[in-house]
C-alpha cells in the first residue's frame, strides 16, 4: 500500500515536472520560439545572470538573435524581437509599459510621460506639449534662436580657454546637454550654466550618478537633484508671470506650455499637486537630455578625432553655412540650413546607430488577447520588446554593422536609405517615441557644427571609451580627453 506521504510526493513531483518541463518545453505557445539558452523555458536565471549590477543583458540578447533569428525567448515569460514586424506590432500597436518604468522613472512620487502605464492618460499628457517639440516649432522658435546664439558663444569661449591643453570633452558635453535643454525648458535666465560652472555640474552630476546607478547615498542624491530641478521650475514660474528682458532672457517654452495646459486640464488640483505634476515632467526631460546628448557628442567627437580626413570634409561642408559659426558673429545660421547638411547628418545618424545612447530592450506587455509576431503566437501578459542595440546590428541592413561608416547614409540608393531608416531605432517609435528627438538632433548638430567650424580635435586619452552595458550607455571610463586646436586665433575671428 502506498503511504499518503508517497502519494503526495508523487503528485508533487508530477506537478513540478508538468509545470517546469512539460508545459514550458512542449505545451506553452512560447515553446515554439527559439530559446536563447536551453534553460529559459523553465527559468529566468540565464537572462538574470546577464543583468546583474544594472547590466541590461544586451550582448547576450544580440548574440541570441545572431544565432537564432529575429525572435528569441529570454525567459519563461520574456521575448525579444528584432524585426520590423515586431516594431510595428509592439510599439505602434499600443502595447503598454510594465511596472518597472514606474519604479525607475517616477519623480516627486508623481508619474510622467516616461513612467505612465496607461496609453490614454499618456496620450493626453503628450499632446499637451508635443507641438513645442515639433521640428517646425523648434526651427522657427525665436526663444530658441536667442538662447542658442548665447549658448554657442559660451561653448566657444570655454573651448578657446582650453585651447591646446588636454581637456575632458565628456564633462563639457554633459554641460552642453544640460544648458541647451534647460534654456528651452526653463528660459535662458533660469537655465543651468554647466558648460562654465564646472563645480555645480560636478556636484549635480555625482548625485545623478548615485541615483541612477543605485549607489550608496541614493536617497540623499535623489532629494538633491529633485530639489535642484524644482528650483528651476519655480524660477521659470516667476519668469512666466512677467515680461522677459530679451537681452538676458528667453521664455521658458516648455514649462510655460505644460503649466498652462495642466491648469486647463485639471481645474481642481491643489497648487502643490500641479507644481509636482509639472516638475516630474521637467525633471525627466532635463535628465533625458543630459545623458543622451553627452553620449552622442562624445562618440561623434571621438570618431571625428580618429579621422582627420573626415574632420576636413565636415569642415568643408560647414564652410557653406551662412553666416559662419564663429566668435564675434552674433547670429547663427538658420536651423534648417544646419539640418540639411548631408555629411553632418550622416555622422550624427551613424553615431546614434553604432553608439545608441539607450541601446537596451524597451520592454512592453502583450495585450490580453495576445499577438502574432514573425509567425509565432504570443499569449497575453508576456514581457516583450526590442532594442536599438539589436536593430542596428542587422548585417543585411547595415553591412559591417560594427564599423563606423557615415558614408552608408549618403548612398544614392533611395530604397536602401529607406530600409536603413526603417531599422534606425535610436529614438524608439510609436506613441512612446522620444518627444525630444527633434530638439536633440538640432542641439547635437549645432554643437558639432560650432566646434568643428572653429577647432580641430585630436585624442589625448580615450582609455575606457567602449560603451558600458547600461540603460544609458556612456563610455566605461567616463571620460574622453581631447586637445582642441583653434583653426584661427580668436582675435582673427573677431576681426573678420
List the binding residues for heme: 434
- Residue closer to ligand HEM (CB basis): 205 or 358: 358
CB atoms within 10 A of CB 7: 10
**How big is the CA angle at 56 (ends 478 and 296), to the nearest 5 degrees?**
40
Site string for ligand HEM, 170-189 (x = CB under 6 A): -----------x--------
- Least distance CB 430 / ligand HEM (angstroms): 8
Burial profile 14-29: b = 16 or more Cβ within 10 angstroms, e = fewer: eeeeeeeeebbeeebe
Q: Does 284 bind ligand HEM (CB under 6 A)?
A: yes
Helix (H) or strand (E) holding 372: strand 371-373
Three cell numbers, residue 223: 532629494
Q: Does 294 bind ligand HEM (CB under 6 A)?
A: no
Give the residue, chosen from 126, 145, 405, 417, that forms a contact with ligand HEM under the rule CB under 6 A: 126
- Least distance CB 439 / ligand HEM (angstroms): 5
Q: Does 292 bind ligand HEM (CB under 6 A)?
A: yes
- Residue closer to ligand HEM (CB basis): 201 or 392: 392
- Residue closer to ligand HEM (CB basis): 326 or 387: 387
CB atoms within 10 A of CB 77: 18
**How big is the CA angle at 356 (ends 354 and 359), to the nearest 5 degrees?**
120
Beta strand pairing call for 383-386 and 78-81 = parallel
Q: Does 87 bind ligand HEM (CB under 6 A)?
A: no
- Least distance CB 104 / ligand HEM (angstroms): 11
Q: Does 289 bind ligand HEM (CB under 6 A)?
A: yes
Helix 218-240, helix 198-212: angle, nearest 10: 130
- Least distance CB 100 / ligand HEM (angstroms): 11
Q: Does 390 bind ligand HEM (CB under 6 A)?
A: no
Which neighbouring-strand residues pair with 378? Answer: 371
461: helix, strand or coil: strand
Give the residue, chosen from 82, 256, 276, 440, that forms a contact with ligand HEM under the rule CB under 6 A: 440
- Least distance CB 446 / ligand HEM (angstroms): 13
- Least distance CB 118 / ligand HEM (angstroms): 12
- Least distance CB 476 / ligand HEM (angstroms): 19
Q: Does 301 bind ligand HEM (CB under 6 A)?
A: no
Residue with nearest beta carbon to ligand HEM = 436
Q: Does 192 bind ligand HEM (CB under 6 A)?
A: no
Q: Does 253 bind ligand HEM (CB under 6 A)?
A: no
- Residue closer to ligand HEM (CB basis): 121 or 466: 121
- Least distance CB 31 / ligand HEM (angstroms): 28
| Binding segment (CB under 6 A) for ligand HEM, from list 21-29, 210-218, 290-298, 456-464 | 290-298
Site string for ligand HEM, 416-435 (x = CB under 6 A): ----------xxx---x-xx
Q: Does 409 bind ligand HEM (CB under 6 A)?
A: no
Residue in the structure block whose three cell numbers are 501578459: 381
Three cell numbers, residue 426: 535610436
Q: Does 304 bind ligand HEM (CB under 6 A)?
A: no
352: helix, strand or coil: helix
Q: Assess contact for 298 and 479: CB atoms under 8 A.
A: no
How far is it, in rounded angstroms, from Cα 120 to Cα 486?
A: 52
Sheet holding 383-386, edge to edge: 71-75, 78-81, 383-386, 362-365
Q: Assess contact for 328 and 208: CB atoms under 8 A.
A: no
Q: Does 93 bind ligand HEM (CB under 6 A)?
A: no
175: helix, strand or coil: helix
The closest alpha carbon to 166, from 465, 451, 461, 489, belongs to 461
How far is it, in rounded angstroms, from Cα 357 to Cα 351?
A: 9
Which positions lie near ligand HEM, rule CB under 6 A? 113-114, 126, 181, 284-285, 288-289, 292-293, 296, 357-358, 362, 426-428, 432, 434-436, 439-440
Amino acid at each position: 500500500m502506498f503511504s499518503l506521504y508517497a502519494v503526495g510526493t508523487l503528485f508533487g513531483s508530477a506537478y513540478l515536472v508538468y509545470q517546469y518541463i512539460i508545459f514550458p518545453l512542449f505545451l506553452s505557445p512560447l515553446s515554439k520560439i527559439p530559446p536563447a539558452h536551453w534553460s529559459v523555458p523553465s527559468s529566468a536565471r540565464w537572462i538574470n545572470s546577464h543583468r546583474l549590477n544594472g547590466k541590461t543583458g544586451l550582448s547576450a540578447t544580440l548574440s541570441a538573435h545572431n544565432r537564432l533569428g529575429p525572435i528569441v525567448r529570454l525567459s519563461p515569460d520574456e521575448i525579444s524581437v528584432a524585426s520590423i514586424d515586431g516594431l510595428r506590432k509592439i510599439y505602434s500597436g499600443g502595447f503598454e509599459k510594465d511596472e518597472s518604468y514606474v519604479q525607475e522613472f517616477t519623480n516627486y512620487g508623481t508619474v510622467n510621460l516616461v513612467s505612465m502605464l496607461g496609453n490614454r492618460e499618456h496620450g493626453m499628457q503628450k499632446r499637451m506639449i508635443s507641438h513645442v517639440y515639433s521640428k517646425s516649432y523648434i526651427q522657427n522658435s525665436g526663444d530658441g534662436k536667442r538662447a542658442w546664439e548665447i549658448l554657442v558663444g559660451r561653448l566657444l569661449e570655454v573651448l578657446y580657454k582650453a585651447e591646446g591643453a588636454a581637456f575632458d570633452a565628456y564633462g563639457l558635453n554633459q554641460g552642453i546637454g544640460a544648458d541647451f535643454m534647460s534654456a528651452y525648458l526653463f528660459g535662458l535666465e533660469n537655465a543651468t550654466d554647466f558648460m562654465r560652472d564646472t563645480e555645480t555640474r560636478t556636484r549635480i552630476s555625482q548625485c545623478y550618478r548615485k541615483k541612477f546607478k543605485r549607489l550608496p547615498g541614493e536617497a540623499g542624491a535623489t532629494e538633491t537633484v529633485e530639489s535642484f530641478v524644482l528650483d528651476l521650475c519655480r524660477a521659470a514660474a516667476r519668469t512666466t508671470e512677467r515680461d522677459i528682458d530679451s537681452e538676458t532672457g528667453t521664455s521658458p517654452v516648455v514649462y510655460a506650455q505644460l503649466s498652462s495646459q495642466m491648469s486647463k486640464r485639471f481645474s481642481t488640483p491643489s497648487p502643490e499637486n500641479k507644481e509636482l505634476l509639472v516638475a516630474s515632467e521637467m525633471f525627466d526631460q532635463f535628465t533625458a537630455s543630459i545623458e543622451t546628448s553627452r553620449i552622442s557628442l562624445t562618440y561623434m567627437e571621438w570618431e571625428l578625432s580618429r579621422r582627420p580626413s573626415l574632420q576636413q570634409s565636415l569642415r568643408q561642408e560647414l564652410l557653406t553655412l551662412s553666416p559662419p559659426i564663429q566668435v564675434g558673429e552674433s547670429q547663427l545660421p538658420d536651423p534648417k540650413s544646419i539640418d540639411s547638411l548631408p555629411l553632418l547628418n550622416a555622422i550624427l545618424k551613424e553615431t546614434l546607430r553604432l553608439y545608441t545612447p539607450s541601446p537596451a530592450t524597451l520592454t512592453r506587455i502583450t495585450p490580453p488577447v495576445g499577438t502574432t509576431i514573425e509567425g509565432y503566437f504570443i499569449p497575453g501578459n508576456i514581457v516583450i520588446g526590442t532594442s536599438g542595440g539589436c536593430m542596428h546590428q542587422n548585417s543585411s541592413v547595415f553591412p559591417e554593422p560594427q564599423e563606423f561608416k557615415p558614408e552608408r547614409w549618403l548612398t544614392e540608393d533611395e530604397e536602401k536609405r529607406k530600409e536603413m531608416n526603417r531599422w534606425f531605432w535610436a529614438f524608439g517609435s510609436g506613441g512612446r517615441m522620444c518627444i525630444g528627438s527633434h530638439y536633440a538632433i538640432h542641439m547635437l548638430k549645432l554643437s558639432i557644427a560650432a566646434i568643428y567650424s572653429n577647432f580641430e580635435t585630436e585624442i589625448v586619452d580615450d582609455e575606457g571609451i567602449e560603451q558600458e552595458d547600461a540603460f544609458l550607455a556612456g563610455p566605461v571610463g567616463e571620460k574622453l580627453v581631447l586637445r582642441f586646436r583653434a583653426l584661427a586665433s580668436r582675435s582673427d575671428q573677431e576681426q573678420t
